[in-house]
C-alpha cells in the first residue's frame, strides 16, 4: 500500500524540498548513495574489487529540465570514466545511465539523449568497459530500446534493462536474447498502471522467472538484478538447466542492500556486480529505495523525528 504513495511523492517538488531539508535524511540516504563526488566513490570501487566484486556506477540525477543539465550529465560520466582510466579500474567498473538524465524528456529528447550518451559509451569502450541503459517508466521504453539498438551498431556490448512487471517484457526478452546482447532483468521500480503492468507481487515474480528462462535459453548474457533469495535460487537452477557456466551470466544487487549476500555469491564463484549510485541529486533514486521496503520508511521517519 505504501509503495505507490512513496512513488507518487518521488515526483513531487514539494516533497523533494521537504525530504532534502529534513534533519536526519542524510543518515538514511548514505545507506543507499555511495557518496557525492567521484573522489568519494573511487575508494568504494577499490573496496569492491578487493572483495571480488564488480560494480556498475550510476551518477544520480534523472530530473533535469534544461539542455545544459543534460550536457552536465554527460560530462559527469566522462569525468568518471577519465578517473577510472587514470586509476586502471576500467575493467572492474561498468556504467549505468538513465536516459532521462541525458535529456530524453526534453523537446527533441530522443536525439538529444542519443547524442549525449554516445560519447559516454565510446569513452567506456575505450577503457575496456561498457554502459547499460537503465529502464525508467514505461512511456520512455520505446525510445530507450531504439537508442540501445542504435548504439549497439557500433558498441555491441551496450546493455539494457527490462522490467518483469510490464506485460510487454517477455516479447522484449525474446527479441533481446540474441548473441552478444547484455540484458539486465529486474522486477521494476516505477509506479505503473494496471493497463501495462502486473500489480500483484506473485504475478511479477512468476513473470520474472519466465523471463529469466527466456534469457538463459537465449544466446545473450543475462544480468540478474534482484535481492530476492527465492529468485536467486531459481536463477541458479535455470542457469544449470540451460547448461550455462558461472561466467555466462551474472548477479547484480544495489549498494547498501543485502551486502552480505554480495560477498556470499561472489565467494561461490558467481560474478556479482554492485550497482553503486553516487552524486548530489539523489532524491528520485532514494525514494524508489524507500518504496521497495516499507521498513525503510519507518527507519527514515524515526531518524527525522529523533533529530
Ligand atoms: P524484492 O522482493 O523487492 O526484495 C527482496 C528482498 O531484498 C527484500 O525482502 C529485502 O530484504 C531486500 N530489499 C529489496 N529492496 C530493498 C530496499 N530498497 N531496501 C532494503 N531492502 C531491500 N528498476 C527499474 O525499474 N529499472 C532499472 O533500471 C533498475 N535497475 C536495477 C539494477 C539493479 C542492479 C537492481 C538490483 C535493481 C534495479 N532496479 C531497477 C530495481 C528493481 O526493479 C527492484 O525495484 C528492486 O531490485 C527490488 O526488487 P527485488 O528483486 O530485490 O525484490
pLDDT above 90: percentage of residues in the chain: 79
* pLDDT score of 307: 60
- Three-state SS for 161? strand
- Residue 112 belongs to a domain: yes
Mutate to test the pocket of ligand 1, among 292, 293, 297, 299 (most ligand atoms within 8 A of CB): 292
Number of domains in the chain: 1
- Residue with the smallest CA separation from ligand 1 atom 12 is 227
Chain length of the chain: 307
Give the per-residue pLDDT at 28. 84
Cell numbers 537465449 label which residue? 218
Cα(156) to centroid of ligand 1, in Å? 27
Task: Tell me the C-alpha to C-alpha distance, in Å, between residue 269 and each of 66, 247, 257, 302.
Answer: 44, 9, 20, 39
Q: What tens digit of pLDDT does each residue of 96-136 get?
A: 999 999 999 999 999 999 999 999 999 999 999 999 999 99
Please report, for residues 52, 91, 127, 128, the alpha-carbon distance to residue 84 in angstroms, rounded to integers and kept in the order given. Answer: 17, 9, 8, 11
Q: Is 222 helix (H, G, I), strand (E, B) or coil?
A: strand
Give a yes or no: residue 296 inside a domain.
Answer: no
Quick one: pLDDT at residue 167? 98
Closest C-alpha to ligand 1, atom 9: 228
Q: Which residues line ligand 1 (CB under 6 A)?
A: 134-135, 161, 163, 186-190, 225-228, 252-254, 257-258, 275, 289, 292-293, 296
In a domain, 140, yes or no: yes
| 306 domain residue, yes or no | no
> Does residue 195 sit within a domain?
yes
Domain hosting 78: range is: 34-281
Tell me how crowded residue 180 is: count the other CB atoms within 10 A of its CB: 10
| Three-class secondary structure of residue 57 per DSSP | strand
Which is nearest to 4 in space by CA: 197, 276, 168, 172?
Answer: 197
Q: Residue whose CA is closest, atom 18 of ligand 1?
A: 289
50: CB partners within 8 A, 6+ apart: none
DSSP letter (8 states) at residue 33: B
What pLDDT sits at residue 296?
A: 85
- How far from each other are the two terminal CA atoms of the chain, in whole angstroms? 27
Distance CA 240, CA 242 (A): 5
- State the pLDDT confidence band at 13, using cuts at 50, 70 and 90: confident
The residues carrying an active-site annotation are: 134, 184
Give the mean pLDDT of 161-187.
Answer: 97
What pLDDT shows up at residue 253? 98
The preferred substitution site among 33, 169, 186 for testing ligand 1, maximizing ligand atoms within 8 Å of CB, is: 186
DSSP 245-256: -GGGSEEEEETT
Question: 267 pLDDT band (50/70/90 cuts)?
Answer: very high
User: What's the 256 CA to ligand 1 centre distance in angstroms?
Assistant: 11
CATH code (residue 40): 3.20.20.220
Q: At what angle do helices 229-241 and 259-267 cross, to 10 degrees?
A: 20
Asked if the structure places residue 8 within a domain, the reply is no
Q: Give me the helices (H) in the chain, please.
A: 2-9, 13-21, 25-32, 38-50, 67-86, 109-126, 141-154, 169-176, 201-217, 229-241, 259-267, 283-292, 294-305
Q: How far apart are CA 154 and CA 162, in angstroms?
A: 21
Is the residue at 200 inside a domain? yes
Q: How far is the CA of 283 from the centre of ligand 1 (A)?
A: 17
ipTM here: 0.98
111 CA → ligand 1 middle, Å: 30
Please give the mean pLDDT across all residues of the chain: 94
Is 238 within a domain?
A: yes
Q: Quick check: 307 and 23 in contact, CB under 8 A?
A: yes
Amino acid at each position: 500500500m505504501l509503495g505507490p504513495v512513496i512513488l507518487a511523492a518521488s515526483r513531487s517538488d514539494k516533497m523533494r524540498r521537504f525530504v532534502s531539508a529534513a534533519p536526519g535524511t542524510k543518515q538514511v540516504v548514505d545507506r543507499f548513495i555511495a557518496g557525492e563526488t567521484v573522489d568519494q566513490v573511487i575508494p568504494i570501487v577499490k573496496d569492491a574489487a578487493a572483495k571480488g566484486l564488480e560494480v556498475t556506477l550510476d551518477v544520480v540525477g534523472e530530473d533535469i529540465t534544461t539542455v545544459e543539465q543534460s550536457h552536465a550529465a554527460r560530462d559527469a560520466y566522462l569525468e568518471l570514466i577519465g578517473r577510472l582510466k587514470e586509476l586502471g579500474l576500467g575493467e572492474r567498473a561498468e556504467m549505468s545511465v538513465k536516459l532521462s538524465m541525458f535529456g530524453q524528456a526534453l523537446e527533441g529528447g530522443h536525439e538529444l539523449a542519443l547524442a549525449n550518451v554516445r560519447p559516454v559509451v565510446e569513452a567506456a569502450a575505450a577503457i575496456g568497459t561498457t554502459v547499460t541503459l537503465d529502464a525508467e517508466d514505461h512511456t520512455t521504453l520505446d525510445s530507450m530500446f531504439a537508442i540501445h539498438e542504435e548504439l549497439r551498431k557500433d558498441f555491441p556490448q551496450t546493455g539494457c534493462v527490462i522490467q518483469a512487471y510490464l506485460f510487454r517484457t517477455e516479447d522484449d526478452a525474446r527479441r533481446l536474447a540474441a548473441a552478444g546482447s547484455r540484458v539486465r532483468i529486474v522486477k521494476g521500480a516505477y509506479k505503473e498502471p494496471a493497463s501495462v503492468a502486473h500489480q500483484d507481487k506473485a504475478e511479477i515474480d512468476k513473470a520474472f522467472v519466465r523471463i529469466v528462462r527466456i534469457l538463459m535459453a537465449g544466446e545473450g548474457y543475462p544480468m540478474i538484478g534482484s535481492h530476492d533469495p527465492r529468485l536467486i535460487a531459481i536463477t541458479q537452477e535455470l542457469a544449470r538447466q540451460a547448461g550455462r557456466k558461472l561466467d555466462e551470466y551474472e548477479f547484480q544487487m544495489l549498494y547498501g542492500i543485502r551486502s552480505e549476500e554480495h560477498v556470499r555469491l561472489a565467494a561461490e564463484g558467481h560474478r556479482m556486480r554492485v550497482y553503486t549510485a553516487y552524486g548530489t541529486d539523489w532524491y528520485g533514486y532514494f525514494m524508489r529505495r524507500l518504496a521497495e521496503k516499507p521498513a525503510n520508511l519507518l527507519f527514515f521517519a524515526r531518524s527525522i523525528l529523533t533529530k
